Chain A
Amino acid sequence: GAVVSQHPSRVICKSGTSVKIECRSLDFQATTMFWYRQFPKQSLMLMATSNEGSKATYEQGVEKDKFLINHASLTLSTLTVTSAHPEDSSFYICSVKRGGRNMNTEAFFGQGTRLTVV
């Protein structure tokens, strides 16, 4: 069964509005979750690392104020795309890592969210 649940799978919004994407870890508590963005026929690009109870760590070039991340519990992280524009249209994927920092780890991915901004 699914280890990670991501919702919604598809969303269409008007330019200027905000969209929230949820990522839930179903099988275990996750102190760290990752948010990726994927353009057609390209690899996953890490946007930010979401840490439970603290501020997210953003990759270079990712606007913190535009992509708001909240990791309020050990099983839920949310990504909010604020004031969305057509160029934000993309496939967003969350990932949950099993295992502690010094343990062998595996990453499990959500189903992804296709965001279309019109």
Chain B
Amino acid sequence: EDQVTQSPEALRLQEGESSSLNCSYTVSGLRGLFWYRQDPGKGPEFLFTLYSAGEEKEKERLKATLTKKESFLHITAPKPEDSATYLCAVQERWGEQFYFGTGTSLTVIP
């Protein structure tokens, strides 16, 4: 069965303290891996799509990388406004459904 696991469940960082979030996945064939940011009471906001191992994408303080088994979301010098839940989702090659992880709740302390 397809599965997406995110770790850690929660992460507290001091402002400026860089770290990484992990998303491990098992699918029969990967069409794409997606990262989203979700603020409380809001729908997920799209961040990145990664399609193949070795691919990297960057946006401001965020950088997403992908291997055949997992993806990392690196946060460099985070700011308090980066506090949110970060969701990872995968889409299998032959289907349309997105499989979501449970998310990592990030808190950046000033």
Residue of A nearest to B91 (CB): A105
SS of B interface (majority):
strand
**Residue contact A43 to B100, C-beta cutoff 8 Å:** yes
Residue of A nearest to B45 (CB): A109
**Residue contact B96 to A109, C-beta cutoff 8 Å:** no
In the complex with contacts A106-B49, A109-B36, A44-B97 CB distance below 8 A: no
**Residue contact B102 to A42, C-beta cutoff 8 Å:** yes
Across-interface contacts of A44 in B (CB, < 8 A): 44, 87, 100
Known: A43-B101, A105-B32, A112-B42. 7 other contacts (CB 8 A): A41-B102, A44-B87, A46-B97, A49-B97, A101-B96, A106-B49, A109-B45
Which residues of B are interface residues toward A (Cβ below 8 A)? 31-32, 34, 36, 41-46, 49, 51, 87, 89, 91, 96-98, 100-103, 105
